[in-house]
Structure 1
Amino acid sequence: MQASIYGSVKGKLGFEDQNQRRVLGFGELKKIEQVQGPGICGLLRGELALVGLANVLGTAVASSLMDQQGRKSLLLTSFGGMAASMLLLSLSFTWKALAPYSAPLSVAGTVIYVLSFSLGAGPVPALLLPEIFASRIRAKAVSLSLGMHWISNFVIGLYFLSLVTKFGIGTVYFGFADVCLLAVLYIAGNIVETKGRSLEEIERALSVVT
């Protein structure tokens, strides 16, 4: 019965490889539960609980390290971990040598991604943005920045399944890994450390970077 459930979901989402069946949205999980009962989804619920735990743990660690390690170092670590996890997910779906281990590797990659995101890419921008803008433009600049952030999230969510159907999920995750690596390079060269600095010191540092 589980095989038939996964098969129907695989066909609905356009996945060609049965090893990709674990890539399910929260909405799809709920629909399966409504049709087949809660027992069928026990394993997937456990994986989602693990992802949620990683999210909470990463956020708690980030809150304690933000003023100790600095914003920039957390961002570099975060995007580096996200790139590694996306590469792991891509290889788990495309590299035939890893096919027998694709299920645990996909779960591990997802957990590492969420943990890495929670360490820096999630919480740090909300703290960093108000620190780098002058008070006269801070509200508008932060609103514009966060607005672009959510628009980007919306566009990615809107076209994700279409890209997976057209290019394959391994290729899409590999593209995400490339974007995260580009983010690491950008942060290393253009983002200044704001920990323990006044606005004037941050502005001087930004003028040197630019």
Structure 2
Amino acid sequence: MSRCVFFLMRHAATLWNLDKRIQGQWDSELSPAGLAACEAMAPGLARLSLGRILASDLGRAKATAGILNRTLGLPVTLERRLREQHFGDWTGKHWRDIPAAEVAAAEAAGWQFQPPGGESRAEVHSRAGHALRDAARTNGGKRVLVVTHQGVVKAVVYHLLGRAYLPDEPPAYDRRLLQEVVCQGGVLSLGRLDIDPAAP
């Protein structure tokens, strides 16, 4: 099977992100700052010799891909398995309104962190990994931009790093930049972290 290189990026910031409100698989509009950052990133991405955009089918990811594609002009595939973690009963709430003890107990579960009525981080990793391996089979030899969500990027990268996904772990990467994941022979491996498309 041909090698496929994925560049994982988080969607542009939204109004709910600014308000510290939990989106999960709901949506809100991109913020003005998010729109500006997205537009500024596009010229640098054009230098990566990309062949396709693979995007979550949630609105904020589709909007981000659409803005980037004004410059890139690439075919786009939407993939529901790249959606953000389902936050169940917490969806739509502000983080400040969830009891701190409840959040701490959930985060202490690491990969089994699972909001009431939602899905676990392990489940996010499983579906995202299957989506990337399937995409690699149809995009062999290509470099693919993956526009997804923080929960998906983190699950993929942390699994490849062998992390326990616990709250005391320091950040492994800069969420504003691209994270490279390579698929060869159906096996995912970690490439470069923190690729800045704006860097010369």
Q: TM-score, normalised by structure 2?
A: 0.30
Higher RCO (CA-CA < 8 Å; seq separation 6+) = 2
Structure 1 or 2: more helix by fraction: 1
Q: Which has the larger radius of gyration?
A: 1
Structure 1 or 2: more strand by fraction: 2
Q: TM-score, normalised by structure 1?
A: 0.29
